[in-house]
Amino acid sequence: MTPELENVLAAVAAVVALLAVAFTAFTRAWAARQTREAVERARGSKPDRAISRLDLSELGDYMYGALGSIPIAEYASNPRARGDVARGLERIERFLADDETPPAKRDGGAASDALAAAQRALGAGDTWTGLAQLRRSIEIELHQLAARREISVPKRAGAGLLLRILGDGQVLSRDIALTLRKSIRVANKAIHGEDVSPAAADEAFAGADYALRSVRSS
């Protein structure tokens, strides 16, 4: 082997090794920065706004955008990141169940507004929003009924829990409770993301509309 060739080979080996180290260091630093940003984004975001606005698109953006960009390696090793993801998903799960209503709307907001919004959304073919608004209008109306009758209910009780409390207290007639239960069941199905036909959605709306009129006048 000539000295020139040895020089060249040694230099090539050094360059390759340095490139490998530089590439690894750069990708690690880049990934660490992205991870830091993703964790901060998740920390600074909450699903409450999307839930109180009943906006599926915003809810999905929260799950995929705010929580989704956290690398699994970070999720596994950083308890803070894991806690943020768990809390976010848990919050959405509680919203899907009908035992809790978002704080933003439980006291304020007229049931008739939510009902009108439900009708508009169903008319536009947006079953998810329509039935989510319908469930909210039932929640607001039942909270107001409980207040009128001075029945103690948890502040954040959702439609299902309210119906159980008011039904057990015989504040609601059996027929009305049954009609509302049917509407809530259909709404829950849609809110969970399951398919609900437009006919079933319209029927749930009509039933709830009729029952809520009766609740208002009682």
Partner 1 sequence: MRTLEVADVLDLAAAQSSDAEERLQKLFEWDFERTMTSVRLLFIAAGSLLVALLAALIRDDTNLEIWHIATIVGSAGLLAAVAWSMLRRTRELHREFLAALGLLNSAQRLGPLLARYRAGAS
Considering just the CA atoms, what is the radius of gyration of the chain in Å?
27
Enter the tokens of residue 30. Answer: 């880049």
Q: Pick from 32, 33, 40, 60: which binds partner 1 (CB under 8 A)?
A: 60
Candidate ranges 24-32, 99-107, 140-148, 207-215; the one touching partner 1 (CB under 8 A): 24-32
Q: How far is the CB of 175 from partner 1 (least distance, A)?
A: 31
Question: Which residues 156-175 are close enough to bind partner 1 by CB under 8 A?
Answer: none
Q: Give the separation between CA 148 and CA 141, rounded to whole angstroms.
A: 11
Q: Does 112 bind partner 1 (CB under 8 A)?
A: no
**Residue 155 DSSP code:** T
Enter the tokens of residue 171. Answer: 């504040």
Q: Does 21 bind partner 1 (CB under 8 A)?
A: yes
Candidate ranges 84-92, 139-147, 174-182, 206-214; the one touching partner 1 (CB under 8 A): 84-92
Q: Give the separation between CA 131 and CA 34, rounded to whole angstroms.
A: 38
Please write down the long-range contacts of 169-173, taking CB distance under 8 Å and 24 or more positions apart: 171/145, 171/146, 172/145, 172/215, 173/214
Q: Does 59 bind partner 1 (CB under 8 A)?
A: yes
Relative orientation angle of helices 79-96 and 174-191, to the nearest 10 degrees:
140
By C-alpha distance, which of 166, 121, 120 is closest to 139?
Answer: 166
Question: Which residues 177-206 are close enough to bind partner 1 by CB under 8 A?
Answer: 191-194
Q: Does 32 bind partner 1 (CB under 8 A)?
A: no
Q: How far is the CB of 159 from partner 1 (least distance, A)?
A: 18
Q: Give the separation between CA 76 and CA 69, rounded to whole angstroms.
A: 14
Q: How far is the CB of 105 from partner 1 (least distance, A)?
A: 19
Given the complex with partner 1, which of 73 and 206 has the nearer CB atom? 73
Q: How far is the CB of 91 from partner 1 (least distance, A)?
A: 11
Q: Give the separation between CA 113 and CA 120, rounded to whole angstroms.
A: 11
Residue 39 vs residues 69, 91, 154, 164, 183: alpha-carbon distances, Å:
8, 18, 34, 40, 39
Q: Does 18 bind partner 1 (CB under 8 A)?
A: yes
Q: Does 124 bind partner 1 (CB under 8 A)?
A: no
Q: Does 96 bind partner 1 (CB under 8 A)?
A: yes
The residue ranges that bind partner 1 (CB under 8 A) are: 1-3, 6-7, 9-11, 13-14, 16-18, 20-21, 24, 27, 31, 56-57, 59-60, 63-64, 67-73, 75-77, 82, 85-86, 89-90, 92-93, 96, 128, 191-194
